[in-house]
Amino acid sequence: MPNTVGRFGSLLETFLPWLGLPVLLMLGLALLRRSATALVALLLPAAVWANLFGGLLLDEDCGVPDIMAVQHNVSDENTDPVGTARALIRSAPDLIALQELTPSAAPLYETVLASDYPHHAVRGTVGLWSKYPLADVRSLDIKPEGIGDDWSRGLRSSAQTPWGDIAVYVAHLPSVRVRMSGFSSGRRDESAGLLGAAIAAEELDEVILLGDLNSTVDDRGLAPVTSQMNSARRGFAFSWPAAFPLSRIDHVLTRSATVTGIRTLPATGSDHLPIAAGIKLGP
């Protein structure tokens, strides 16, 4: 679908796996009517869906991951930061990335996570907590034009792991809106371009990106990032909205490493579900 008018291509790609649902409904109707013609006609869309997403339903033994990471947009309206932090600790990850940290909530997360994650960095509204020492922490400029100077949603650090230094990026791309004129994703796409350029310039081979990218890996608007990163090959792990998850807009992506599996964690006080991913280092 063209993206030139209303960016409807990106909107469709945000919910692309759900296109299998009409195929399933039509299959049921074809069986009910015992229509051989309809069944044959449905083979093509069913085959296309299976080729695109069927592999996500299969189990695959990728071995024991080297690193476990959790990504969570905790919501700036979360009324239980302490409970949220404790919930994330229970999944026992090595890295925790948070977005939408507020000045009042950030100290609470720092206090609760401190004993298990002695190394952390916060820049603007995003933060990284790590069991490994962090070095070369700096803000990441992914701010689109026209947004105030106080907007800060990215950081870059290197984690000093037993396998060597790994670049860890935490990002929260601008929100998108569905309006009468179409899908408004211009600022998100511009921010994705800046993030992709930063990752391309990263000198360390192994990179982990943890972030709320406000779309799925199927959205062409995220191509500057997804074209150079690896995503999970198994599992849908829809993370938003928490009440009825429709898509995974929270991501754990890697370069020169493999995401061995991804899953959602129980709901917190956020409108997003946390996601946990295993990472195997090396190509």
pTM above 0.85, yes or no: yes
Buried b / exposed e along 24-49 (16+ C-beta atoms within 10 A): eebbeebeeeeeeeeeeebeeebeeb
Q: Check residue 281 and give its pLDDT.
A: 93
Q: How far apart are CA 66 and CA 59, in angstroms?
A: 19
pLDDT level of residue 62 (50, 70, 90 thresholds): low
Helix (H) or strand (E) holding 28: helix 20-33
pLDDT level of residue 61 (50, 70, 90 thresholds): low
Cβ–Cβ contacts within 10 Å for residue 193, how many?
17
Greatest mean pLDDT among 56-65, 95-104, 169-178, 215-224 lies in 95-104
- The stretch 208-221 carries a mean pLDDT of 94
Higher pLDDT, 62 or 33: 33
- The stretch 106-132 carries a mean pLDDT of 98
CATH number for the domain formed by residue range(s) 67-281: 3.60.10.10
**C-beta of residue 206 within 8 angstroms of C-beta of residue 160:** no
Q: What is the pLDDT of residues 160-203, one digit of tens each?
A: 999 999 999 999 999 877 665 556 788 999 999 999 999 999 99
* 9 pLDDT more than 70: no
Residue ranges covered by each domain of the chain: 8-57, 67-281
Q: Check residue 49 and give its pLDDT.
A: 77
Torsion angle in degrees (nearest 10) through CA of 227, 232, 234, 236: -90
**C-beta of residue 191 within 8 angstroms of C-beta of residue 144:** yes
Range with the lowest mean pLDDT among 10-14, 38-42, 78-82, 194-198? Answer: 10-14
Residue type, 104: S
**C-beta of residue 239 within 8 angstroms of C-beta of residue 212:** no
